[in-house]
Amino acid sequence: MTPHFAAQAGHQQKQQKQSHGFPKETHAFDLDTSKVLAFGLSRFGRLASMFSGRNDDLSELGSSRDPLLAYPESELNAEDDEEPILYAASFDELAKNHVKYDTVIWVSISLLLVLAWGIGIVMLLCIPIRRYMLQKDISSRKLYVTASEIVYKFSRPSMLFWRATTIEKCIPLSLVIDIIIEQGCLQSVYGIHTFRVESIVHGKAAPVDELQVQGVADPGVLRKVIITEASKNVQDFGKGWKPTSIIEEESLSRVGSLSDGRAVFKSPPKSWKVHHATLQRSIEVHHATLQWSIEVHHATLQWSTQGLIQGEMLLNKLGEVCESVKEKSMWRLARCASSNLSRSLRRRCFYTAAIPGPCIVHKRGTDILHDPWFNKDTGFPLTERDRLGLRGLLPPRVISFEHQYDRFMESYRSLEKNTQGQPHGSVSLAKWRILNRLHDRNETLYYRVLIDNIKDFAPIIYTPTVGLVCQNYSGLFRRPRGMYFSAKDKGEMMSMIYNWPAHQVDMIVLTDGSRILGLGDLGVQGIGIPIGKLDIYVAAAGINPQRDLDNLGWKEKSILSIVDEFMEAVHTRWPKAIVQFEDFQMKWAFETLQRYRKRFCMFNDDIQGTAGVALAGLLGTVRAQGQPLSDFVNQKIVVVGAGSAGLGVLNMAIEALSRMSGNNEMAVKNKCYLLDKDGLITKERKNIDPAAAPFAKDLKDVEGLREGASPIEVVKKLKPHVLLGLSGVGGIFNEEVLKAMRESDSTKPAIFAMSNPTMNAECTAADAFKYAGPNIVFGSGSPFEDVDLGNGKVGHVNQANNMYLFPGIGLGTLLSGAHIITDGMLQAAAECLASYMTDEEIQKGILYPSIDSIRDITAEVGAAVLRAAVEEDLAEGHGDVGPRELKQMSKFEKESSSWLTDNDFFGCQLDCTDKIPSSQKHDGCYFVFNKNIY
């Protein structure tokens, strides 16, 4: 809604009165007698028809016969254009039920009052009048959302024979705090919901219910539209703005609450720009001696300053305008402008090294020390200890961040030295404990240690140690991490999701605990997998750890309805969050992937991530054999393991092979063979899994083999180029199978033992090189040491781990703004990983890079995913970079990679401003200090 000028209000109201039949010279109450009589008779006729049992049809109030504003106090000039409506709610579907519901309430109250006072009898007699007024009220309601505000209009008869009272409420989206949908017991009978909008009101410390309405036909959709548009509004406001200096404590607290005060910047620039998409034209306010002008050009509100910017002057003038100009539009404008000014000062979470950002903390004393996100241990300087109430709670000596880092690494190396000769499992758990204690105490130091020593610590926080951690998690548990959803929470997940403190979430890892690695159903102890995955996201992709969400799911015979509710709840609060499904049983893994991949931004790492890493290894194997990639179509591939990972690898490999062979899918499938626990899968099998059915072989095509043939029979008969294990059965590639691979049709056969953890690997690296020969390419899911082959030769071990791909997939999708993850984006990631190694490294049998370069790999893979999203016209942009800029950058590989690595996610400073929701702020000071992470 566009506010009109205060000086023109009287003239406009005069024109409106003329348009509705009022004489030009008369006052609004000096009505023509004949018109009043006609108006009263029409009202009496409608009342009589209602008493006779004929109800008025409920019609849309916007019709020409029954205008919305019968006697409007309009806020718009006739020449002004309203903003386009993005979504309009409907009340017609529930109108009759709403009237019935209100009648029941009215009768109930009347009967109660009859017992106490006689007025209840009068109320019962007025039921027809009540129903009539409610019908007119419902038929006049209009609730719709524009790009900048929520508008609610309705016209209510104030008296039977007098004009209607028109009410209009406009709530700027930038002030909306929460939207609540409630339904009582009686409301559920009639399908009625109460739709509440909470927002910040100028001068109020807490949010208030600025809008409450009943009878919206589809409140969930309306809520999702409002939240989506409100998030866009806040993101558009203040784009590119970064604070360059520390803000005074008292000033921040005052500006943050919109009360009187001033915000003093120590070194302000000469001009400030505050972007606001809803202010599109110049506004002039003239009232008595107050003359104040605001110039708005192309959604940019500019203030020129000479010296210090004082928030007190601006807010005081806004207050004067609100008191002086009584029109609702100017009040809304002043409140919106003051709110957005203060919001801009709290904007953004990540900053580059060149422009450090302040960290606003609203905790004191031991609360700081118990929060690993804010705690710096003995690194707090004395000034911060005074401001945060920490003096005396810490040893007096201030220890630098670098010194703390050295101390921890010394302690870790001492642990390694003292545990030599002990069982490997107990040593790994001891290492995990010392890292977890640091994570619980100081997240900044934890991630710095993790990033600098990723090769040493990745096997501890991720595979293979994480499997052992999950098995013993009940004894290792110290403090909760992530969120837990169960079947008992069905129907409550929409409200539960708001219990998570972060306003923004970029990445969610979800598991139901039913198939943790190869260890089976570990239930709630499977939370260790999402925790480890998100630590890799932080270390490899630079994702803000405060915008990650670990999630543990549920166990039930049919989980789809529960997952449906969970996904709707997640994408209602965080529409752009990426959900990674992890370690679901094969049945649910494929079903959930097909169910959600076209609707939500999600992927299944077991199916698609493992497949991408395996495809990169297969392409690298072709290069290692000295053949062009086009020879991939001639490779015979035997996959042992028909679970979600094995089928995912086959699906992606067949898609790649089909593309290379001209989409000849049947010819490609004839080169792939699938075995499960019962052996070779053929069409003769009776109870075949539907997901594995497309890969079942006809016995005519595999002469000499039978249904259920064992791995040794298949390898001896087919002499495959590639033997790929994803069975989860340790040692299934025994000495006999490995020796049979010596007879492979390939000069350099490939053996991949990709099951996790180490005890479930199909074979070890040492056995593979010992029995299959030194001239093989070996890959594994768990880490193994390189094998000494003698004579100065080394058998290189390639860890085919998903961590090479999933951080890049998440990062590329996030920065592209794509709303879904397609097969083209996943194949681009796999092909990028396959091409990362040089020809010299490939000839040595090195298919995958070292874990030390994981950040560089993630950047390359993320750039490839981003370019694929642009090519498929899925990129919607991220931050200040829109889809056009992304499309232009994607034409140049170096430019897109450079932008991705220079993005805030790969920055050098981490700011915790958005850690605590604004609704949890309490009285007291805000304290400012910087916190380095990298």
Output the CA–CA distances (angstroms, integers) from residue 41 to 36, 45, 55, 160, in the order listed.
Answer: 9, 6, 17, 10
Which entry of 224, 533, 671, 748 is annotated as an active-site residue? 533
CB 585 within 8 A of CB 804: no
Is 533 one of the annotated active-site residues of the chain? yes
The vertex-847 CA angle with 846 and 851, nearest 5°, equals 85
Segment holding 312, helix H or strand E: helix 311-324
Single out the residue of 526, 653, 640, 539 nearest to residue 584, CA to CA: 526
> Do β-strands 548-552 and 483-484 pair in parallel, antiparallel, or remain unpaired?
parallel
Q: Burial code of 63-101, b = ≥16 C-beta within 10 A, e = fewer?
A: eeeeebbeebebbeeeeeeebeeebebebeebbeebbeb
Burial of 421 (0-12, 13-18, 19+ CB in 10 A): exposed
CB 360 within 8 A of CB 342: no
**Residue pointed to by tokens 């921890």:** 408
**Residue pointed to by tokens 């008191």:** 323
Segment holding 142, helix H or strand E: strand 142-145
User: Which two structure tokens, joined as six digits, stand for 227?
Assistant: 């939240």
DSSP tag of 609? I
Return all residues near 543 (Cβ < 8 A) that are at least 6 apart.
506, 507, 534, 537, 807, 810, 811, 814, 905
Query: What is the three-class DSSP state of 650?
Result: helix
Q: What residue type is 852 in one-letter code? A: D
Single out the residue of 864, 862, 856 nearest to residue 893, CA to CA: 864
The region, left, alpha or beta by phi > 0 then psi within -120 to 50, assigned to residue 708 is: left
The distance of Cα 783 from the centroid of its chain, to the nearest Å, equals 32
Is 669 one of the annotated active-site residues of the chain? no
Which entry of 132, 446, 462, 848 is annotated as an active-site residue? 462
The distance of Cα 190 from the centroid of its chain, to the nearest Å, equals 34
CB 236 within 8 A of CB 909: no
**Residue pointed to by tokens 């890292």:** 435
Active site residues: 462, 533
